[in-house]
Amino acid sequence: MANPLTLVIPLREDIDLSQLQAGLAELLPNIGAAMEAVGTVHYSRVALLDHSSPNLQPKPDSSGPFSFAVITSYDGDFDVYIQDFVTHLGSIYDALLGFSADGAAIVPVADHVEQFTAYLEANDLSKQPPANGFPFYSAYPYTVQQVLANAPS
């Protein structure tokens, strides 16, 4: 049975959209390969929230402030695999937290694994009330690897 991660990272107020897009352009192409290397992530998507916009949708000329969201469904115990998560995704989170309002002090995350674990817990909407009481739906009770093993070739 998968678990949800709804990570919201508030970004520094001085970050504008062009800076962010330039920074993300180098990061985003690597996320898929990193998730595959982790091996427990069913789906992953990222989103940008614009706090200056009434419906949080970013506007082309907005100067924010923004938050960056990472939304995934993953198998197993996140904390137990944290070192492997850092191995594969650490450089991506180092860059993301470099833009953040509250996470720069734990970069590089490989040297601050416990603090990084605590950061993820604190910024995961799925683990914080009231959202941790909201239902999480999965269409199937299988792990990523079971799905891959049984999918038609």
DSSP 100: B
Residue number with CB closer to other proteins (58 or 142): 142
CB of 61 to other proteins, least distance (A): 38
CB of 117 to other proteins, least distance (A): 8
- The HSE-up count of residue 146 (CA atoms within 13 Å, CB side) is 8
Residue number with CB closer to other proteins (50 or 94): 94
CB atoms within 10 A of CB 76: 14
Peptide bond before 130: cis, by omega within 30 degrees of 0?
yes
CB of 23 to other proteins, least distance (A): 20
Of 66, 82, 63, give the one whose Cα is nearest residue 74: 82
Residue number with CB closer to other proteins (85 or 99): 85
Residue number with CB closer to other proteins (25 or 80): 80
CB of 87 to other proteins, least distance (A): 5
CA distances from 92 to 16, 32, 34, 109, 124 (A): 19, 11, 9, 10, 17
Binding residues vs other proteins (CB under 8 A): 38-40, 75-77, 79-84, 86-87, 90-91, 108, 110-111, 113-114, 143, 145-146, 148-150, 153
The two three-digit tokens of residue 70, written as one number: 């990472």
